[in-house]
Chain A
Amino acid sequence: MKPSSSSARIWRITSIASIVTTLLLISGFVYAINDVVNPVGSSYTAESSTDSAAQNGSQAAVDPATEGIRVAALGDSLAKGTGDDEGSGFVRRTVNLLQQQGVDAKLVANLGINGQKTGQVIESLDESGVQHTLRQANVIMLSIGANDLFNGGEALGNLDEQAPTANQLLTNQPKAAARLQKILDRLAKINPDAQIIYLGLYNPFGDLKELRIPGNQAVSAWNMKAAGITNTNEHMMVIPTFDLFQNNLDQYLSADHFHPNGDGYEQIATRIVQSIR
């Protein structure tokens, strides 16, 4: 049986191609096994990485005059917007309100993480990604401290067990306040031109009889301390929320009795918009 010329051509091309590819793939296979089984760690140094990092630093700070309002948010579940049925939170709602007013506002990123405490935020500020994101903004919104003070009282369902005692509310304060100071200082260093908005605390336990008065006292004391820190820097301010929620807990708190609901976040956002303009 003699193959026709077309068959001979098919055979020649296919056989050569398959031999070449098989050898290539076997070498890749051996390389892969070796690389996975005997990995050699080495720190990565790219020729271009210093370039782009430097570039990155110079590009980073946005020019408020041309860029409009660029918002980055940092902190706990309030920054993230937990409790809001629409998932927006005060950060997104602030941006939306500004846009409705015709302002060129944009949310760069929301780095809020549920349950974060001051210590975790300090750690996160060392991450290059977080720093980069904060540098892209000219308004940085920070909500932190509630979990330090209330000892993570947001663990839903077992509120009765988790609700702090009056004593706890006060003992947690000094250290947390020192960490808040550290966070705000770091933020000002990372992005010196940005306006830093710290969201004051409210007392979510105002509807528990035994915690109403000590809670109010503790939260007020905290807010005073926060104001004491922000007043030393012209780019910082505290947006108060204490009075907003004091007598409106049933109206502005979500079902978990800790986070604001959509209406509550909307009220906070309205206040921020008033302060920014």
Chain B
Amino acid sequence: MNSIWPLVQNETIKIIKKKRFYVILLVLLVLVPMFTYAQMRQAQENRTKFGDDWRTELQQAITDNQNSLGSDRVPEEWKKYRRIFIQQMQYYLQNDVNPNEPGGVTFTREFLNNSSSLFIPLLIMTIASDLVSGERTGGTIKMLLTRPVRRWKILFSKLITLTMFVSLIVVSTFIICYAISGLVFGYSGFTIPVFTGFQPSEAGVDMATVHAVDQWQFILMQMGLIWFVGLTVGLLAFMVSVLVRSTAASIVIMMAALIAGTILTNMASSWSSAKYLFMVNLGLTNYLSGSPAPIEGMTLPFSLAVLAIWAAASLVVSFAVFTKRDVMN
């Protein structure tokens, strides 16, 4: 065990020196201002319509959704979402809590909610897809494997490094998002109450377990779940990077899988066995906010189990292949 930390150190320095992590930060620094600006324009537009009166604005949103419930042209699936939305928003109104209290923290919460199934996994792929295939592409794999270290240790050190960077990416996303959006919307809002515990049921939402948490607690929970998603996607990308020789190919494979996931989430409700695919289970944060799962029968423990199984399987494959395979160019 004593020789694992130098290897991890080596891998970490490689990732930093290859500027992979800086690319991720750069992507965040470019994209987050764009989202912030878009959000700002939307807020301005709403203000001209409703003034500062969020209650009326929310009531109008509720009414608009109620109207669509009556239409036969709206699919039953969407109606379910809208019914849940209506009940949640009415709950917020009853308790006189603004669900979208403007502020950098609220923006960050929304951003994290929307980025958990595609955006952050993509960022993590940047590092994970390159970990092994990058060595092949660069030809450094021979040097790595001819050192007097067991192969599994080399792979294991890469794995630890991956975990470290998954954590760093999730937290960096939060920090950059908060820092930039705070410039526009203000830095307050950590203690705003957010309701969680909405249980989607047959009739709509079961309110018995609803409770308020501070927004910072909500964000902490979000980040914890996103971290798990990131780790799973990272492990899968890692496996692909062991199996495939070129980094480009391994990125394309993972990206296709992730994008297929977002498409499936939107249309797979009638294909119920799709819920065993990892890519439709990436929206873990939805369980916090109480939006219904894309496929009947999906719950947080279920999604966690599916992700864990995929992650474990990819670990087994990675180690089995990496320790056995001949290194030939």
Shortest distance between the CB of A100 and any CB in chain B (Å): 19
Which residues in chain B, 53-90, are within 8 Å of chain A measured between CB atoms?
53, 55-56, 58-60, 62-63, 66-67, 70-71, 89-90
* A contact residues around B168 at 8 Å (CB): 14, 17-18, 21
**Could you tell me which B residues sit within 8 Å of A by CB distance?**
8-9, 12-13, 16-17, 50, 53, 55-56, 58-60, 62-63, 66-67, 70-71, 89-90, 93-97, 163-165, 167-168, 170-171, 193, 195-197, 199, 207-213, 217, 220-225, 227-228, 284, 287-288, 300-301, 304
Interface status of A46 (Cβ within 8 A of chain B): yes
Task: With A44-B211, A132-B59 given, name 14 new contacts (CB 8 A).
Answer: A18-B165, A24-B220, A31-B224, A35-B213, A39-B197, A40-B211, A41-B197, A41-B209, A56-B55, A109-B60, A111-B63, A127-B94, A133-B59, A136-B53
Residue of B nearest to A136 (CB): B56
Report the bound CA distance from A79 to B193 in whole Å. Answer: 35
Residue of A nearest to B195 (CB): A44
Shortest distance between the CB of B99 and any CB in chain A (Å): 12
* B contact residues around A42 at 8 Å (CB): 211-212
The dominant DSSP class at the A interface is helix
A46 near B217 with CB under 8 A, answer: no
Tell me whether A29 and B212 are in contact in the complex, defined as CB-CB below 8 angstroms, given that A21-B167, A22-B164 are known contacts: no
What is the total number of residues of chain A having a CB less than 8 Å from a CB of chain B?
A: 50
Report the bound CA distance from A61 to B257 in whole Å. Answer: 55
Report the bound CA distance from A44 to B56 in whole Å. Answer: 21
B12 near A10 with CB under 8 A, answer: yes
* A contact residues around B288 at 8 Å (CB): 32, 35-36
Between-chain CB contacts (< 8 Å), 20 pairs: A10-B13, A17-B168, A24-B167, A25-B227, A28-B222, A37-B300, A40-B197, A41-B208, A41-B210, A44-B95, A46-B193, A49-B97, A80-B67, A108-B56, A115-B70, A128-B93, A129-B58, A129-B89, A130-B59, A132-B55
B56 near A132 with CB under 8 A, answer: yes
A109 near B287 with CB under 8 A, answer: no
Interface status of A65 (Cβ within 8 A of chain B): no
Tell me whether A114 and B224 are in contact in the complex, defined as CB-CB below 8 angstroms, given that A11-B13, A129-B62 are known contacts: no
B9 near A27 with CB under 8 A, answer: no
B304 near A27 with CB under 8 A, answer: no
Tell me whether A11 and B9 are in contact in the complex, defined as CB-CB below 8 angstroms, given that A21-B167, A44-B211, A132-B56 are known contacts: yes
0/1 string, A31-63, CB within 8 A of B gives 1:
111011101111010100100110010000000
Tell me whether A36 and B227 are in contact in the complex, defined as CB-CB below 8 angstroms, given that A18-B167, A132-B59 are known contacts: no
Report the bound CA distance from A128 to B93 in whole Å. Answer: 6
Report the bound CA distance from A15 to B4 in whole Å. Answer: 14
* A contact residues around B196 at 8 Å (CB): 35-36, 39
B13 near A44 with CB under 8 A, answer: no
Report the bound CA distance from A130 to B59 in whole Å. Answer: 7
A35 near B197 with CB under 8 A, answer: yes
Report the bound CA distance from A24 to B71 in whole Å. Answer: 46
* B contact residues around A36 at 8 Å (CB): 196-197, 287-288, 300
> Which 5 A-B residue pairs are closest in the complex by CB-CB distance?
A28-B224, A29-B224, A18-B164, A32-B221, A129-B59
Give the interface centre of A32, A39, A112 by most chain B CB atoms within 10 Å.
A32
Residue of B nearest to A109 (CB): B60
Interface status of A122 (Cβ within 8 A of chain B): no
* B contact residues around A26 at 8 Å (CB): 224, 227
* A contact residues around B95 at 8 Å (CB): 44, 46, 49
B224 near A32 with CB under 8 A, answer: yes
Contact partner, A39, options B94, B199, B222, B223, Cβ 8 Å: B199
Shortest distance between the CB of B285 and any CB in chain A (Å): 9
Shortest distance between the CB of B226 and any CB in chain A (Å): 8
* A contact residues around B199 at 8 Å (CB): 39
Report the bound CA distance from A133 to B59 in whole Å. Answer: 7
A133 near B220 with CB under 8 A, answer: no
Contact partner, B300, options A33, A41, A115, A133, Cβ 8 Å: A33
Shortest distance between the CB of A33 and any CB in chain B (Å): 7
* A contact residues around B195 at 8 Å (CB): 44
Interface status of A232 (Cβ within 8 A of chain B): no
* B contact residues around A21 at 8 Å (CB): 167-168, 170-171
Contact partner, B96, options A10, A37, A49, A136, Cβ 8 Å: A49
